[in-house]
Structure 1
Amino acid sequence: MKLYHLKNSLSVITLLVTVLLLSSCTDNFEELNLHPTDPTAEDITESESLGSLFPTMIAAMHPAQENQSQMIHQMIGNQYGGYMVPTNSWQGTNFGTFNPAKDWVDWPFNKIMVGFNSNFIKVKEVTQSNGYIYSWANILRVATMLRVTDMYGPIPYSKIGEGGITTPYDNVQDVYHNMIADLDNSIRSLTNYLAGTPQASPLAEYDVIYNGDFHKWLKFANSLKLRMAVRIALVDTEYAKQVMQEAINAGAIDANADNAYIPTQDNPYYKASHSWGDLAVNAVLSSYMNGFEDPRRSAYMTEVTYGNTPFRGVRMGTENMNKGYYSNAMIFSKPAFTSNSPLLVFCAAETAFLKSEAALRGWIPGGEEKAKQHYEEGIRLSMEQHHVELGTYLSSTSLPENYRDPINSKEVAVDKAINVSWDDAGTSENTKLEKIITQKWLANYPLGFEAWCDHRRTGYPQMFPALDNLSSSSFMGSVVNTPSRMVRRLPFPQSQYQGNSDAVQEAIKMLGGDDVASTDLWWATKNK
């Protein structure tokens, strides 16, 4: 018996064929469409018809498409998350100087929200919102839309597919609750499916992450629940504590063998840094890792030959960036990816650090003893993930290195810097929390959006402020430029103001502040 439902009508067969033809125009589909000939309604299997939609939905979680990666992950997530810095001046407009071009804030919404949901709605229609295929699609949807709501705040979610271009927005708390409910439904559905279906999924060929192993997708879903619950626990504590415990009991990703990666033969970070000269490592990352003598440095960034430091990043927010200078690999480190490096989506180390924070704050049992255990386990898992020796790293009391830009000799240092050793943390809960978030940040490279979320939520890790703050001349509004508080969100897209204006006005009311970059999201309001 089929565990997903198809409408037995000519219109649905037509829809399925259309889906395949439309999907052939999506990013990288030529590589991923495995049908050997031009398909017709007679030779397309049901699994192929739906399965062909999944590669692009999977890719949306960490896009390999070069323009999407540059405009969204490199310019926004990895810059505000402290991992990378674009080295192109972009005619004087840049997210790093807080004055991007006005249409740039449309990119994440239009490319992620619209691009993903066009396929998701097709899956929803064909499956009638039932069965294991729909459940898998919903897990991918949560992982993808989480990034969108964490950028903008309120987004259309619960009514997607019902209102055309005039879809109402949900407030952030409702988005999170609805996403977690969707994950719960998917977990139940996939658990039931696996109980009666021991053989491999018929969609395995479309699953580039886990090859159709839904046991691992269940772990991924529980990992997302844990990530989301920790994010909102300061403002929705009792609900979040329940969700955390459910996720931990059910089993999140806790071994590197289950890490989620998207394979690529054209890594966008490699292309942007090595081929285009548009990307370098962030100075704050090199300063922490140099100071800690972190064994992962060579796995994260290229070595430089100029000066007295082995690795050197670029300071964020330099007005009129000199690309020829800041893209020079002898002076500044580039991300150490190759053309075929896979793209990280979730790693076991993050699970350990989420548990560490939860234990420290009393959200799960165990207190500081468990917090230390999970903290050190997260570091060990990250070293194992990157195939480097741990050595004496856990007992290190070295501090982050001061950063000096060779071109202008401007120096900056981490204020009240912390080290690695848990035993050297003293009695301050804030110091212990800073250690957890800083090591989580190092382990999650290059998941810049997660790093940006943690920075907005906790103020950690301490960042180097943008060298030049040009926000006062930008539609972004005035941005506070300090080590613990910078850009808080992106303004809503102009395309939404033009095509969904009533809904956007309601969304602004949900924000509780103006539609500018300095307005806190619901879960970040504790960080003042």
Structure 2
Amino acid sequence: MKKLKNIKSTITLSVIALLSFTTSCRKDMNGLNQDLKLLPQPLLSIDGKEASILLPGMMTNIESPVNYIYQGQQDLGQDEYAGYTTTPSVFLGNVNNFTYSFVSDWVDYCWDVPQQNILNTWLQWKLKKFDTKYPDLYGIALICKVFGASRAADTFGPIPYSKIGTTADVPFDTVQEAYNAFFADLDQAIVLLSAVEDKEPDADQLRFKPFDNSKFGGDYAKWIRTANTLKLRLAIRISNINPIKSKTEAESAVSNKYGVLEAADGGFFMNVSGENPIDEIVTSWGDMRLGAPVGSILGGLKDPRLAKMALPADDPALNGQVEGIRTGIQLTTGTYSNFSKLATSFGAPLKIMSVAESFFLRSEGVLRGWNMGGGSAQSFYEDGVKASFNEYGAGGVDAYLADATSTPAAYVDPKNAANNAPPLSNITVKWNDGEPMARKLERIITQKWIAIYPEGYEGWAEFRRTGYPQQYPITKNDSQGKVANGDFVKRMPYSATFTNASKAQVDAAVAKEFGGDDSPGKRLWWDVN
């Protein structure tokens, strides 16, 4: 393991610190290094380059491509809580995030990365008035802003968002307030991009394509559909707590003339420069292995995608099977190192949003009685599975969709029988329209969880919202009673980055949202399942 760098609280939540974000030398995580002072202002103004140059850093830090930052931002928490991965490494005496004893230096990354590289950069857009000078490019910035901030809100709860740049000591938005602001920002982004795309269809290639680090190649229409899909995702998230607004926002996203992501668009993937961080963490550091639920669920369902996601275990006790590790168990050095590795490659792009997700979101929308633009819950469900198979280049989708008998398998740990567990569910793949809504929802979410893999932020959020797919609880609970045995972590407590910046604002937010208890066992506003 490369030692995680200890991010100090050098950037606070105050306007002074926000203004300290450097624009004279902007070096983003993907290797772009531009000194704005060295480029003549007239040259920078041509085709919006003075603003476009700020976008790559925002995009690439939705999910950082830098190995140790990705590990802290994503893998040492969210990916494991989603059930996608776990570690065979004994970190800090095996008392850490995985056993619900939170390491502040690790948790810091979950806020530092979006704050420093997305929200602070967004403020620069406002201060330089790029939002009015280049409205289409500002639309891209807003989409990145919502991606980054929504992940943070779904991790911690209240965050500084809507009032950034308005006061020296920024108050936190409640989760409900933050979500309202997310919808407003996405609506603005969609309007701004649509206006330019409608009037100047080639503007994206001129102004944006050279700076688009995603696989979309600067295509504004695909970014608009991504914004609508993100809006649909967030609308579904609040469906249990605010069903009226949820329905309104969801139907608005789908009915927009550009619509949501479709199979031809592909997913929202971010290119990397150099080695994919997952590849390095898996192959070079040995700190990441497959999570037990992936092997159990996909293995039992005879899912052809499993062979594309993970490698057979090297451990002879597993006889060449694909087998993951349970999270939050007693670990000893080297015991689980030869369990299944994730199937990775050196320069693979990072998945931010699978195109399959847009189909599963619409499937659930229809299940709730919403207008999702035509199509049934079954047709959207099956199209989502097909889109995911296509993403992985897996065959046999028709036979898979027709399988009404295969169910998730039991988990067997050849190293420690105490970790053995029965199947997580008896869910099957084949759609059955006669089943209860809860059963159909479990089927949709299980397949969405498979399609989202290995993006743990969304997988964990959906598990908290729905309880699907069911997960294995940790067996080594170091939360000191904050998370009950057999239960699951609901959020991350605020790290030193927050409290060092403004303890008063943190305390006020915790008092208002969680009754004064900054506990990992406290549910977020939308988590009422």
Compute the TM-score of the two structures, normalised by the length of structure 2: 0.88
What displacement does 1:41 show?
Answer: 4.6
SS in 2 for 1:403: coil
Tell me how far apart the structure 2 counterparts of residues 174 and 335 of structure 1 sit (CA, whole Å): 38
Of all paired residues, the percent bearing the same amino acid is 32
The yes-or-no answer on 1:269 pairing with 2:278 is yes
Tell me how far apart the structure 2 counterparts of residues 90 and 176 of structure 1 sit (CA, whole Å): 35
What displacement does 1:48 show?
Answer: 2.6
Describe the superposition over 1:134-166 as per-residue Cα deviations: whole angstroms up to 9, x where unpaired. 2211111001111000001111111112234x2
Alignment partner, residue 144 of structure 1: 148
RMSD over aligned Cα atoms = 2.3
Alignment partner, residue 521 of structure 2: 518
Residue 117 of structure 2: which of 92, 115, 118 is its match? 115
Q: 1:197 to 1:426 in 2, by over 3 A?
A: closer
Alignment partner, residue 291 of structure 2: 282
User: Structure 1 stretch 385-394 or stretch 76-85: which is displaced more?
Assistant: 385-394
Q: 1:519 to 1:231 in 2, by over 3 A?
A: same
What displacement does 1:234 show?
Answer: 1.2
AA matched with 2:354: C
What displacement does 1:248 show?
Answer: 0.8
SS in 2 for 1:304: coil
Do the aligned residues in 1 keep the contact of 2:408 with 2:426 (CA within 8 Å)? yes
Describe the superposition over 1:172-200 as per-residue Cα deviations: whole angstroms up to 9, x where unpaired. 11111111111111111111112221222
Q: 1:508 to 1:345 in 2, by over 3 A?
A: same
Describe the superposition over 1:107-137 as per-residue Cα deviations: whole angstroms up to 9, x where unpaired. 2112222332221111222235321122211
Alignment partner, residue 212 of structure 2: 207
Q: 1:211 to 1:348 in 2, by over 3 A?
A: same
Q: 1:189 to 1:381 in 2, by over 3 A?
A: same
Alignment partner, residue 300 of structure 2: 291
SS in 1 for 2:206: coil
AA matched with 2:111: F
Alignment partner, residue 372 of structure 1: 378
Tell me how far apart the structure 2 counterparts of residues 103 and 78 of structure 1 sit (CA, whole Å): 17
The yes-or-no answer on 1:479 pairing with 2:483 is yes
Residue 352 of structure 1: which of 359, 368, 375 is its match? 359
User: Structure 1 stretch 146-155 or stretch 182-191: which is displaced more?
Assistant: 182-191
What displacement does 1:364 show?
Answer: 3.4
Describe the superposition over 1:34-91 as per-residue Cα deviations: whole angstroms up to 9, x where unpaired. 8999535565445332222111100112211111211121111110011000222112
Alignment partner, residue 104 of structure 1: 106
AA matched with 2:161: Y
Alignment partner, residue 16 of structure 2: none
Do the aligned residues in 2 keep the contact of 1:299 with 1:386 (CA within 8 Å)? yes
Q: Superposition pairs for residues 421-440 of structure 1, below 5 Å? A: 421-423=430-432, 427-440=435-448
What displacement does 1:327 show?
Answer: 1.9
Alignment partner, residue 70 of structure 2: 69
What displacement does 1:426 show?
Answer: 5.2
The yes-or-no answer on 1:179 pairing with 2:182 is yes
SS in 2 for 1:376: helix
Describe the superposition over 1:347-387 as per-residue Cα deviations: whole angstroms up to 9, x where unpaired. 221011111111112233699x8111111111111101111
Compute the TM-score of the two structures, normalised by the length of structure 1: 0.89
Q: 1:285 to 1:415 in 2, by over 3 A?
A: closer
Alignment partner, residue 328 of structure 2: 317
SS in 1 for 2:427: coil
Tell me how far apart the structure 1 counterparts of residues 115 and 422 of structure 2 sit (CA, whole Å): 38
What displacement does 1:309 show?
Answer: 5.9
Do the aligned residues in 2 keep the contact of 1:317 with 1:467 (CA within 8 Å)? yes
Residue 248 of structure 1: which of 245, 254, 268 is its match? 254
Describe the superposition over 1:400-419 as per-residue Cα deviations: whole angstroms up to 9, x where unpaired. 11111121123112344212
Q: 1:318 to 1:350 in 2, by over 3 A?
A: same
Tell me how far apart the structure 2 counterparts of residues 454 and 495 of structure 1 sit (CA, whole Å): 26
Q: 1:103 to 1:401 in 2, by over 3 A?
A: same
User: Structure 1 stretch 101-110 or stretch 357-366: which is displaced more?
Assistant: 357-366
The yes-or-no answer on 1:393 pairing with 2:396 is no
Do the aligned residues in 2 keep the contact of 1:235 with 1:523 (CA within 8 Å)? yes
Structure 2 residues not aligned, in runs of 5+: 1-18
Do the aligned residues in 1 keep the contact of 2:296 with 2:411 (CA within 8 Å)? yes
Tell me how far apart the structure 2 counterparts of residues 37 and 142 of structure 1 sit (CA, whole Å): 29
Structure 1 runs of 4+ with >4 Å offset: 33-38, 40-43
Q: Superposition pairs for residues 37-56 of structure 1, below 5 Å? A: 39-41=39-41, 43-45=43-45, 47-56=48-57
AA matched with 2:527: A
The yes-or-no answer on 1:134 pairing with 2:145 is no
Do the aligned residues in 1 keep the contact of 2:290 with 2:341 (CA within 8 Å)? yes
Q: How many residues align?
A: 494
What displacement does 1:21 show?
Answer: 3.7
Tell me how far apart the structure 1 counterparts of residues 373 and 163 of structure 2 sit (CA, whole Å): 40
Q: 1:462 to 1:27 in 2, by over 3 A?
A: same
What displacement does 1:501 show?
Answer: 1.8
Residue 423 of structure 2: which of 399, 414, 420 is its match? 414
SS in 2 for 1:96: helix
AA matched with 1:81: A
